[in-house]
Amino acid sequence: MKDPRLYDIMDFVMDEDFIRWVQDKRSQDEAFWNEWLLQNPDKHLLVAEARRILESIRIEQKIFAPEEIELEAAKLLQTISERNFEESPYYLESETRKPRFRVLRYWVAAAAVAGLFFLGTRYFAAEEAVEKTLAESYTYSSLTAQRALIEQVNTSDKPISIVLADSSVVELSVNSRISYPRSFDSSDTRDVYLSGEAFFTVAKNPHQPFRVFSNELVTEVLGTSFKVRSFEKDSVIQVIVKTGKVSVYSQGAKVIKESSKPDNSGGIILTPNQQLTYRKEGHQFQKVLLAKPSMIVPVAVDRNMVYEDTRVEEVFDQISKAYGINIVYDAELLKNCTVTADLRNESFYDKLDLLCRAIGAGYEVIDGQVVIQSSGCQ
**75-83 long-range contacts, CB within 8 A, separation 24+:** 76/115
Question: What pLDDT score does 1 carry?
Answer: 52
Burial tier of 277 (Cβ tally within 10 Å: 0-12, 13-18, 19+): middle
DSSP bridge partners of 328: 371
CATH numbers and ranges of domains, the chain: 4-136 (no CATH), 141-289 (2.60.120.1440), 299-373 (3.55.50.30)
Count CB atoms within 10 A of the CB of residue 62: 8
Q: What is the pLDDT along the chain (378 residues), one digit of tens a residue?
A: 567 877 877 778 888 888 888 888 787 888 888 888 888 877 787 788 788 777 766 544 455 555 665 566 566 555 545 544 444 443 344 344 444 444 444 444 555 555 555 445 544 554 555 455 555 668 898 889 888 999 999 999 999 999 999 999 999 999 999 999 999 998 899 999 999 999 999 999 989 999 999 988 999 997 789 999 999 889 999 999 999 989 998 876 543 333 333 334 557 889 999 999 988 887 788 889 999 999 999 888 999 999 999 999 999 999 999 999 999 999 899 999 999 999 999 999 999 999 999 999 999 998 889 999 998 886
Q: What is the pLDDT of residue 3?
A: 77
Nearest to 228 by CA among 208, 209, 212: 212
pLDDT value, residue 100: 40
> What pLDDT was estimated at residue 97?
41
Cβ(179)–Cβ(149) below 8 Å? yes
- Long-range contacts of the stretch 331-335 (C-beta < 8 A, 24+): 333/374, 333/375, 333/376, 334/359, 334/372, 334/374, 334/376, 334/377, 335/311
Rounded Cα distance, 12 and 17, in Å: 9
Beta-sheet strands, E only, within 231-304: 236-243, 246-250, 268-270, 274-279, 284-289
Segments of 231-271 assigned E as strands: 236-243, 246-250, 268-270
Residue type, 30: E
- Residue 35: its pLDDT value, please? 83
Phi, psi dihedrals of residue 361, rounded to the nearest 5°: -115, 175
For residue 349, what are the contacts with CB-CB under 8 A and spacing of at least 6?
293
> Whats the size of the chain, residue-wise?
378
Q: Is pTM, for the whole model, over 0.85?
A: no
